Amino acid sequence: MGFEVLWNWLLHDNKMTLYIGREASKLWKRISAETTTEINLLLDNWKYLLAGLIFQYIHGLAARGVHYLHRPGPTLKDLGFFLLPELGQDKAYISETVFTFIFLSFFLWTFHPFIFKSKKIYTVLVWCRVLAFLVASQTLRIITFYSTQLPGPNYHCREGSKLARLPKPDSVLEVLLINFPRGVIYGCGDLIFSSHMIFTLVFVLTYQKYGTQRCIKQFAWLVAIIQSLLIVASRKHYTVDVVVAWYTVNLVVFFLDKKLPELPDRTSGSSLLLLPLSTKDKDSRSKEENQKLLNGNSVDPADWRPRTQINGKILEDANENHVNTAMNGA
């Protein structure tokens, strides 16, 4: 009896080892193939990514520069300050923790094609799009806080704080270094537009379009609302800063999304065939298909398969089967 149990255990353990080895091999092949594809895309789009990253530094430099112009004063009357209880200086970390969770969650999601089988996006192309949204929104933000300087409501920006006013810099290098990250965390004067809400809304809107899990989309919007309330309750921004961010970022994403080329659909077919095509390639492919039809030859059946992407949007998993059934019936 004991020998039979031991034999069954060894047999089961051997099967598990083979299964784990087989899955690890599949995962490694998936990662290798995805890495090759993304490197090719990176070689074609590195200029856009680099420009977007450089502008993040320019945005930080602009926020550092307006801090030298900041003059503390009485906190402005604010409806949000009246309605929301003040968290206090010792609980200011709460909103930063929520923002860090949002940032890391979105960052990891953009790299999910390297691990999971359901490949809906290309990491490089998504980040090109995200950085374009951020650059446009941050440009408007820089214009607003240099147009009008307001006394900051944050605790370190009030009268009596040593950080409320920056002493005149001794050199240009002192300004260019922006004292990261302390200079960013303890900045003053960059108001009329919440930087945290720019990132939050761009990330949520991007997942809203290219994500697949409806429950996560709803949760993301809920977290964005909570983040808005926490920013005001922490007295990091006035309520108007959050309100301006909500409608401006949505407008920026809406108009830019129509101008930028749509991401290729990779829900069917080979990923190499779904890379962005130039206008010349598209025209030549259309002529080739038309020539096949005129000669009585059928076009590649893969081109007639139903797509799960409609109007540039990835459908949620909950609706995908329903749409496929309806299209097959039609």
Q: What are the catalytic residues?
A: 196, 237, 241
Instruction: Identify the pLDDT of residue 196.
Output: 93
The pair phi, psi for residue 171, each rounded to 5°, is: -155, 165
CA distance 199 to 228: 12
Which of 278, 316, 259 has its CA nearest to residue 129?
Answer: 259
Distances (CA, A) of 205 to 39, 131, 246, 320: 26, 13, 11, 20
Instruction: Identify the pLDDT of residue 305.
Output: 40
Does the pLDDT of residue 2 top 80, yes or no?
no
Residue showing tokens 């969650």 = 105
Distances (CA, A) of 122 to 84, 195, 217, 272, 309: 41, 26, 19, 11, 14
Instruction: Identify the pLDDT of residue 90.
Output: 85
Distances (CA, A) of 23 to 9, 28, 114, 249: 21, 9, 14, 42
Instruction: Identify the pLDDT of residue 165.
Output: 87
Q: Is the CB of residue 171 less than 8 Å from the CB of residue 73?
A: no
Mean of the per-residue pLDDT values of the chain: 78
Summarised one tens digit per residue, pLDDT across range 184-203 is 778 888 888 899 999 999 99
**How many CA atoms, within 13 angstroms, populate the side-chain half-sphere of residue 121?**
24
Q: Is the CB of residue 210 less than 8 Å from the CB of residue 120?
A: yes
Instruction: Identify the pLDDT of residue 251.
Output: 95
Q: Any idea which of 46-60, 96-110, 153-167, 179-193 has the lowest mean pLDDT?
A: 179-193
Torsion of the alpha carbons at 282, 284, 290 and 295, rounded to the nearest 10: -150
Summarised one tens digit per residue, pLDDT across range 272-282 is 433 444 444 44
Span 321-327, mean pLDDT? 48
**How many CA atoms, within 13 angstroms, populate the side-chain half-sphere of residue 324?**
12
User: pTM of the predicted model, to two decimals?
Assistant: 0.75
Show the tokens assigned to 67: 């801090």
The residues facing 218 across adjacent strands are none
Summarised one tens digit per residue, pLDDT across range 199-255 is 999 999 999 998 888 999 999 999 999 999 999 999 999 999 999 999 999 999 999
Instruction: Identify the pLDDT of residue 122.
Output: 85
Say how many C-beta atoms besides its own lie within 10 A of residue 61's C-beta: 15
For 202-231, b/e burial (b = at least 16 CB within 10 A) is bbbbbbbbbbbeeeebeebeebbeebbebb
Span 29-49, mean pLDDT? 85
Summarised one tens digit per residue, pLDDT across range 68-94 is 899 888 889 999 999 998 888 888 889
Q: Is the CB of residue 327 less than 8 Å from the CB of residue 306?
A: yes
Of 61 and 318, the one with more pLDDT: 61
Show the tokens assigned to 195: 């930087």
